[in-house]
Amino acid sequence: METIGVWIGNGAAPAFKQADLLAAVPQLRSPAHVVQDPASGALGVAQGGLFMPQGMQAPGGTPAWPVLATLPPIYPEWLGDRSFCETHAVRFPYVSGAMANGIASTRLVIAMARAGFLGFFGAAGLGPATIEQALHELERELGTADSGGLTWGANLIHSPNEPAIEERVADLYIRRGVRRVSAAAYMRPTPPTFATPTRGWASVRADGSGASTMCSRRSRVPRSRVTSSSLRPPRCSTCWSRRAS
């Protein structure tokens, strides 16, 4: 394989053993060079040091390893859509799902928020009193959107057999000012999803072919104005087209 330059360790040495190679994997923010041992031909990974492109000569007597390939630094902040980070005021475009019955616990949401991610509390299956206690803990530890706190959210699950509970949870989110809500298990919008003061929440539905489509447009309709016609899928230039009911 053709070389593209040489790597000088400046006191460091390439990783050739399995344990050393595994230790190099998490170092995403440092350039990585695939080098070859001139004596044995073994391949390894070099980080740090100095990479000298083909044509440049290493100082005499300085140990140098031929470089076969190089990988620039990778920053997780660069992945995904930057508009997501800007909209939700997070460092990384990653979300932890709202696993039901508190599996996505307040501790998980707090840890995600403090690390710069967006986490949703798993409120599904829990009673309104338990959910309110969790919201109180999240507000105490992370603050709220209105107070400039860290970013977090909670789940609102469709409960067709218990509409009163769904309504109470939605009212709770409105009263506590929860700005990010993960709406789950909805076959079509219901009054609570339109009345909840969310920001950038996504709705998913199945079209005529059974495929799912997603729309991240913001929807908010005052509870007093919610009617049967307003629950029909709205027109959306991105992905929704209204169908006859």
What residue segments make up the domains of the chain, in order of their start?
5-74, 77-200
Kindly list the averaged pLDDT for each block of 10 residues, start to end, along the chain of length 245. Answer: 90 93 92 94 94 79 88 89 91 92 97 97 96 97 90 94 92 93 86 60 39 36 39 35 29
Q: Note the pLDDT of residue 216.
A: 36
Helices 128-142, 163-176: crossing angle, 10 deg rounding: 20
- The DSSP H or E segment spanning 132 is helix 128-142
Q: Note the pLDDT of residue 61.
A: 67
- Prediction pTM value: 0.63
184 strand-pairing partners: 157
Q: Note the pLDDT of residue 195.
A: 63
Give the DSSP letter of residue 161: T
Q: Note the pLDDT of residue 85.
A: 92
CATH T-level topology, domain 77-200: TIM Barrel (3.20.20)
- Determine contact, residues 28/77, Cβ cutoff 8 Å: no
Question: H/E/C letters for each residue in 19-85?
Answer: HHHHHHCCCCCCCEEEEECCCCCCEEEEECCEEEECCCCCCCCCCEEEEEEEECCCCHHHCCCHHHH
